[in-house]
Amino acid sequence: MQARTLGSTGPAVSALGLGAMGMSGAYGAADRAESIATVHAALESGVTLIDTGDFYATGHNELLLAEALRGRDRDSYQLSVKFGELMSPGAGFGGRDCRPEAVKNFLAHSLTRLGTDHIDIYRPARLDPAVPIEETVGAIKEMIDAGYVRHLGLSEVDAATIRRAHAVHPVADLQIEYSLVSRAVEADVLPTLRELGIGMTAYGVLSRGLISGHWSAGHTAGPGDFRGMSPRFTSGNVEHNLALVAALRRIAEAKGCTVAQLAIAWVAAQGEDIVPLVGARTRERLAEALPAIELHLTADDLAEIEKAVPPGAARGDRYPSAFMADLGVGN
């Protein structure tokens, strides 16, 4: 497994990271034993970066990872944790809280659930409009100074917020959605990251399976599957989007790879400062994703991919309208 460094101040991590959210039911029922086996397979394949959120299934994901990581050398992997989203029983999300006292409270619970004495990268999941980012970052800085956190991260914020946060404490990386069908970061955010020496961990590289090559127009999302309310998967939009996948499939077949591998490799090819996160829930999907990091895309390949899926080609927002206002950039 290749390694990449997250920005000028962040850690060296595997060139491909594992996103664990789907192991806690975000895309329908997940198998606990298979999830744990997938984490083990990822570690054994050289993946070191594992991403979670304290609110993923209200702590289930952190407890699952604690079980999967038990007995492992703590220095052999890095944990990236998001915080700040408030939950309520049976009603889902209930706002956010990124006040300094809340930062420390969330962190205390995460350390206990994960069974560790430190978090490698700690980040607010979304900007809290009621709390200046300087206050949130200041609290994380205190936790870094105290040894409970190693690095500061951000998630889904705009360029101006990145600058404000970085002025308080160096930001290691920004976690944000980036894929062939989600390229809004390229306008202002990515140039700002590179100017300041900040890395990117890119989630949604397969657009929640839409451009994985495994989704079909007749497929319907099951109970508890986020894709059931995702605009890009709705009738009318999904057919258009899958036509883009068909175009990618022709390129992938000529390249001797799968559509998923091509899509992941495209993100990785956008810069050594970008680490794609793959939300594999099974060893089978992980095994498909891993070779993508070794897939070399030539200038001609990249041009052909760009022609097949130009910026803005996807139909539908990447989140339901109620969630779009929380994002620092659009689609």
Known catalytic residues are 56
Q: What are phi and psi of 49, to 5 degrees?
A: -95, 120
Beta-strand relationship, 12-14 and 3-5: antiparallel
> What is the sign, positive or negative, of the torsion defined by CA atoms of 98, 151, 279, 116?
negative
Residues 6+ apart with CB under 8 A from 243: none
What are the DSSP calls for 143-189, one per residue? HHHTTSEEEEEEES--HHHHHHHHHHS-EEEEEEE-BTTB-GGGTTH
Alpha carbons 4 and 12: distance in angstroms, whole number: 6
Tokens of 324: 């779009």
Q: If you search the block for the tokens 């706002």, which residue do you land on?
A: 95
CA distance 12 to 6: 6
Q: Which residues pair with 52 in a beta bridge?
A: 81
Helix (H) or strand (E) holding 111: helix 100-114
3-class DSSP assignment, residue 93: strand
